[in-house]
Amino acid sequence: MLEFRHVHKTYTTPQGPLSVLSGVDLHLDAGESVALMGESGSGKSTLLHLAAGLDLPDRGEVCIHSQSLASLDESGRAHVRRETLGLVFQQFHLVASLNVADNLRLQARLAGCEDSVWSAKLLERLGLAGRENHYPEQLSGGQQQRLAIGRALASRPALLLADEPTGNLDETTAETVLELLLELVAESGSSLLMVTHSPKVAAPLDRRLILRHGQLLAESGESHLPCV
């Protein structure tokens, strides 16, 4: 359902061109969960932005459900994001002026697939039942992150893209939130592409991929790499 074909991405910086991705191939099946690992600055967030159509590759193709994102205009890509994707980033991006219930429903409403039974279940499972009328600033960091996860899953997206979704939380809270994320992803039948630094977090996922020197490697291939 998500495919990268020979994707290249170079940023223009004052110091000159910075090549971040140099020939990335990736194939993610429906319902599959994949951990994306790699050192800080290796291009993980760049890869997720390309997957979400928030940026375009210089060369190569990114396809969702066999449709090339570069073949669509901005509004076409926004449409794909609404209909197909859930996004969870380190910053929660909750809407401060909307209460918990409205934050949760916003995305699903925009996608035209609001499901009040699923929303209520999400609120319950996220430990936010009874807090529907509270505003984000009245929630703890862990609760805000759970709400951001719930919002991304409220539309039962075909693919959840999560960029270090618990990077801002303490270890215990992070573990609880991640367990919940994986359970809810399984329940909503979504595919998952998640950036994480933690081998423990990555372990239960179907596959672990490592971004290094602009290339994506399967974890098992790591020991066969030449030393560079």
Q: How far is the CB of 155 from Mg ion (least distance, A)?
A: 24
Quote the least distance from Cβ 164 to ligand ADP, whole Å.
8
* Residue span binding ligand ADP (CB under 6 A) among the ranges 12-20, 24-32, 131-139, 175-183: 12-20
Which residue in the set 5, 10, 32, 45 belongs to the binding site for Mg ion (CB under 5 A)?
45
Nearest to 149 by CA among 112, 200, 190: 190
Could you say whether residue 46 binds ligand ADP (CB under 6 A)?
Answer: yes
**DSSP letter string, 8-31:** EEEEEETTEEEEEEEEEEEEE-TT
* DSSP states of 153-220: HTT--SEEEEESTTTTS-HHHHHHHHHHHHHHHHHHT-EEEEE-S-HHHHTTSSEEEEEETTEEEEGG
> Which of Mg ion, ligand ADP, none interacts with 86 (beta carbon under 5 to 8 A by kind)?
none
Q: Which residue, 24 or 122, has its beta carbon nearer to ligand ADP?
A: 24
DSSP 88: E
Asked if 168 interacts with Mg ion (CB under 5 A), we say no
Q: Which residues contact residue 99 at a Cβ distance below 8 angstroms, ignoring those fewer than 6 apart?
A: 132, 133, 134, 135
Q: Choosing among Mg ion, ligand ADP, none, which partner's interface includes residue 225 (Cβ < 5 to 8 Å by kind)?
A: none
Residue 214 binding result from ligand ADP, Mg ion, none, given CB thresholds of 5 to 8 Å by partner type? none
Q: Which stretch binds ligand ADP (CB under 6 A): 24-32, 38-46, 167-175, 213-221?
A: 38-46
Minimum CB distance to Mg ion smaller for 123 or for 195: 195
Examine residue 13 and tell whether it contacts ligand ADP (CB under 6 A): yes
| Strands, sheet with 33-37, edge to edge from the N-terminal-most edge strand | 85-88, 159-163, 191-195, 33-37, 207-212, 215-218
Residues in binding contact with ligand ADP, number by CB under 6 A? 12
Residues at the interface with Mg ion (CB under 5 A): 44-45
